[in-house]
Each structure stands twice: as C-alpha cells, then as structure tokens.
Structure 1
C-alpha cells in the first residue's frame, strides 16, 4: 500500500500483483470516535441488563455482584468486538452504522489473528486507561503521572500518523477505512458504447461470467473510466491476462485489443449480473460460491 493525498481526504492505494490499483479513503477520527461510542452504548446496555438482573435477583452480596458485573463487562465487550469484526468482515454494529470498516494493510482478507490482536489491544489502549482515569483521585503522584502519560500517548498516536492508526492497528497490521456502498454507474455503457471492428468479437459464456460479482465489476468500471488507461499499457495488459486466466477464456486477446476486450467483458458481465438480480440472485463479489457453502463473508480487492 502507498499513501497519497486526494483533496482533504487521506487516501491509501494498494496495487496488488495483478496491477489493479484500489484506493481507500482513510476513516476520519470523528467517524471512528462515533463508531466507538455507539459500540460502547451497545455493550453497556448488555452489561446493564445483567447488572439489573443481579440486583433484583439478590443471588449475590453487593460486593460480589459488583465484581461479577465488572468481569461481565470484559466478557461481553471483548467477544463483541472480535466476533463482530470476524462475522461482518471488519465491521461492528457501530462501524456498520457510521460506514467504516477494518481492512488488512496488505489489501488481503482480515485474519482472525489480526482481529483478535487489534481488539485485545483496545483493552490496553482504551478501557484500562478509562478505568484508571476514574480512579485517578486515589492514586499516588507517580501512579497518576504514569497513567496520564499513557492516556496522552494513546490519544496522540492516531492523529500523529498519516494512516490514523492506533497502536492496536499498528501491531495487527490493520487500517480503518471508509466503506462507501458500491454502486454501478448506469451511464458507462450508454455514454461510451462498445463499437467493435467486424473482425473483433469476444463471446462470453455463462461459466465465464459466473466468476466475478458486483464488487469486481465496480473495480473494472473504475479502470475503464480512467482516461489515462489505454490498450497496450503494462497495467491494462496485466488486468486482461488476469481476467482471461481466471475466467478460463479460450481465445487469445491480441495486442491493441485489450481495452476492447475489457469493455466487452464489462458489458457482458453487467448484463449477466442484472439478469441474475431479476431472478433474486445477488453476487456482491467473487466469493459468492464460498459464501454459499460456508456462510462466510470477505473482501479481497484483487480481480
């Protein structure tokens, strides 16, 4: 990944081996704070329900009940963050509402190790300092100084680095980015109709078009809309080779026909996905077959 500016938004660009550049907008600190506050509210409500049940149940002495509630806060909070980001591919409820997600800095899928590491670090970075801050009045001078220094460090790190990563993100190798909804722009085929020479024809069978989903089509659309891309360029050639290999297209794409091939494939793929949608089938990305069998979700930015 390489960071580059785009207006006032911090952007991160990843160029995978296939050569298809994918850009991410780094989530703002305000949005991340909003998501964190929402998640705190959700987990607090769960802990509150447990506390009320213990209070009215009278099963334990008050001191033991308080200790149990503190333990439950940890047992509810930590699995909530880890399981949410594993099931929803880098998103908790708060992140889903605010439109952000966690991604791997290498552009690959998030691993369970990364999700677990970043969220366990959240205990050290956020929740432990908050607990200590509440007890600051009963601390000695040096304990209060150490606690204040740690809290200050945790607060300074995200705005002080270009990727706005907190310590947990740095350790886990993750990044929090905006998650805008992918929308296929309707006027690409209309505004740039495909006109192929008589001797050039690309026929795509259903098995060729069953490989990719809407996300990959959106990526290809971005490539076709880029005026700097042209047939014969190394990047376009690599993209064509990748698609030909993955869909097992039998015919060779001659030099100079790369953009014609991509435009033809885009049009055929879009018509195929729109036809499937009419019959109630939605394919968000190329992992649709795996999701049917495993129930999992994921996002790999490579074509």
Structure 2
C-alpha cells in the first residue's frame, strides 16, 4: 500500500494541495493558463531564434537548396526544441527560461522529486499535443480540409484538457504525474525573541537561572517555538479549550523540570513560555559562542574525548 494514500475516505484535496509520501499536505498555488501560455511563448521564441541562427549559418555555408530550407528549418526547430525543454527542466528543477521569467515551475503531483522519466514524457507529449499538429496544420493546403480539420480539432482538444481538471494539467502532465505551480514566496517569520506589545515586563517578572536553562537543548527550543508560533496565529480568535490544556501541560512540565517553584497564573502562562523561550535561546547562543552545542535534553559532553 502506498504511503501517501489516506487510510480512510476523506474529501478530495483542495486545489493546489499535494500529499507527499510523509502524508503532510502541502498547499501550493496552481499556475493559471495565462502565465503558462506566456512561458510557453517565451520558450518557443528562444528555440525558434536558435533554429533560425543555425539555419542562417547553414545558408551561409551553401548547404541545401532554397526548396529544402523550410524542411531543414522545421527539423532544426524540432531537434533544438525537444532537448531544450528536457535539459532545462532537469538542470533547473522543473523550470525552463520561460518558466523562470514567469516564476512558475513543474512539480511532481505526489510530492516526490521530479524524475527524468516524467520530464521526458511530459515534453514528448507536448510534441504530440501541440507542435506536430500545428506543423501539420501549417503545411496543409485548402485541398485537404479533412486533415486540416482533424489537426485543428486535436490542438483545440489538447488546449481544452487543462480546463476540465482540478490542477490545470494538460495530457502530458496527466501521463507524467506532474503539474505546474507558481513559485512559493518565501516569508521571513517574525523573531519570537521580540516580545509583543505589553509583554516586555515578562522578562523581569520571570527570571531563570543558568542551571535551570541547562535542562533543555536546541530541539526542545524549536518545539517550544512551534507551539508559540501556533498561538500567535490564533491570537485574534483566542486560545481554545484544547490550547489552554496544552499550554498548561507544557508550563507545568517546564516548571517541574527546571525546579521553578512559583505557580504560574493562567493569564500569564503564554508570557511565561515566551520569557522562558527568550532566556533559553539567549543561554544556548552564549554557549555556542564558546563552542558548546546542546542538541537536546539528552545531550552530554564526553569528557573522555578531550
């Protein structure tokens, strides 16, 4: 059984939600058809310019005849275009020059790393979906309306496929298990060491001694930071009953572990945790300046190695 499948039937993932093997949903913004078309036109322009440059070089060398130049140009466009898409997306982790300019990229639909097989498949399907029918449509004349109509219908059908699936996937994406997203915008989280307005007195109200701060390491500090950030997000709505129970449990465990005698009132529990976080972080940073790193509460220095 695959790890990323849910054990029980639940609602379908929301638009832009990926379920990686770890089972933790990742929410990403699916790229729209307009920005994908702009990236595609940019890439077509780049490969067309390269093909024209090579064709001009061939003409200057006197290779070929005027009647064969169109065939040579079409072949050059194909030979340059296919490797360009595959190599670019392999080298830049799902991006071509056009996608980089439009700030979009290809990702695996199941959250795994992009495979060479998937990138080759999706780009070869692009030839069958768009470029080969378009070439056929351009080379046909009015004496073959049936062939022209079939080529046009195939192109339109391929263009309409992304409109009828949730992740805007074309045929190549559906077969390769990929889709295109907007690049996530990195957000620098607020430093928790900066006390919220009205809580600056907590630093002086709660005092921790060095031997109390020696009980915990960086792992516990990061766990506490995760809890505090979650509470920051719920600040507007206020903590729920479960949140209050969790905060109370964490406060009591810290008090017992470090031997903090004073009882912490319910209204001051978050202030206590923030003050302890600041003091613990400052303590670990000072120790690190002297080359001492405490990974977690189980860490101990091996004196025999010195």
* TM-score (norm: length of structure 2): 0.62
User: Residues 175-190 of structure 1: matches in 2 within 5 Å?
Assistant: 175-190=179-194
**Mapped partners of 2:227, 2:84: distance in 1:** 35
Provide the C-alpha distance between the structure 1 equivalents of 2:58 and 2:169, rounded to a whole number of angstroms: 39
**CA contact 1:136–1:144 (8 Å) conserved in 2:** yes
User: CA 1:23 to 1:231, structure 2 compared with 1: closer, same or farther past 3 Å?
Assistant: farther
- Cα distance in structure 2, aligned partners of 1:220 and 1:73: 55
CA contact (8 A) 2:20 2:112 kept: no
Question: Per the alignment, do residues 133 and 181 of structure 1 end up closer, same or farther by CA in structure 2, a change over 3 Å counting?
Answer: same
Alignment partner, residue 149 of structure 1: 153
Q: Which runs of 5+ in 2 are unaligned?
A: 5-11, 247-272, 289-306
Q: Does the C-alpha gap of structure 1 residues 36 and 58 become closer, same or farther in structure 2, counting only changes over 3 Å?
A: same
Could you tell me which residue of structure 2 aligns to residue 298 of structure 1? none
From the superposition, tell whether residues 105 and 197 of structure 1 become closer, same or farther in structure 2 (CA, over 3 Å): farther
Deviation at 1:177, TM superposition (A): 0.5
- Of 64, 70, 79 in structure 2, the residue corresponding to residue 66 of structure 1 is 70
CA displacement at 1:155 relative to structure 2: 1.6
Residue equivalent to 2:164? 160
Task: Give the whole-Å Cα distance in 2 for the aligned partners of 1:221 and 1:123.
Answer: 51
- Rate the CA distance shift 1:166–1:232 in 2: closer, same or farther, 3 A: same
Contact 2:21 2:111 in 1 (8 A): no
Q: Is the 8 A contact 1:54 1:65 kept in 2?
A: no
Offset, 1:129: 1.9
1:173 aligns with 2:177: yes
**Aligned twin of 2:135:** 131
| C-alpha RMSD of matched pairs (Å) | 4.2
Identify the residue that residue 13 of structure 2 maps to in structure 1: 3
Residue 163 of structure 1 and its aligned partner are, at CA, apart by 0.9
- Deviation string 1:41-71 (CA, Å, 9 cap, x unpaired) is 1111101111111122212223344333222
Partner of 1:56: 60
Is the radius of gyration larger for structure 1 or structure 2?
Answer: 2
Q: Does residue 46 of structure 1 match 2:56? A: no
| Closer/same/farther in 2, CA of residues 19 and 120 from structure 1, 3 Å limit | closer
How far off its partner does 1:86 sit?
A: 0.5
Which of the residues 194, 203, 207 maps onto 2:217? 203
Cα deviation, residue 118, structure 1:
0.2
Distance of aligned partners of 1:191 and 1:63 in 2 relative to their CA distance in 1, 3 Å threshold: farther
Which residue of the partner structure matches residue 269 of structure 2? none
Structure number with greater CO (CA < 8 Å, separation at least 6) is 1
Q: CA deviation at 1:134?
A: 1.4
Residue of structure 2 in register with 1:14 after alignment: 18
Match of 2:124 in 1: 120
SS at match of 1:176: strand
Please give the alpha-carbon distance, in whole angstroms, between the structure 2 residues aligned to 1:225 and 1:169: 39
Alpha-carbon distance between aligned partners in 1 of 2:143 and 2:71, rounded to the nearest angstrom: 20
Is 1:24–2:28 an aligned residue pair?
A: yes
- Counterpart-to-counterpart distance in 2, 1:220 and 1:87: 38
Alignment of 1:184-263 (within 5 A): 184-190=188-194, 202-204=216-218, 226-227=233-234
TM-score normalised by L of structure 1: 0.63
- Between 73-82 and 196-205, report the one with greater CA deviation: 196-205
- 1:81 to partner: Cα distance: 0.3
Q: Does 1:33 align with 2:57?
A: no
Size of the alignment, in residue pairs? 230
Q: Deviations over 1:128-176 (max 9, x none)?
A: 1211221343452332232222122112111121211000000000010
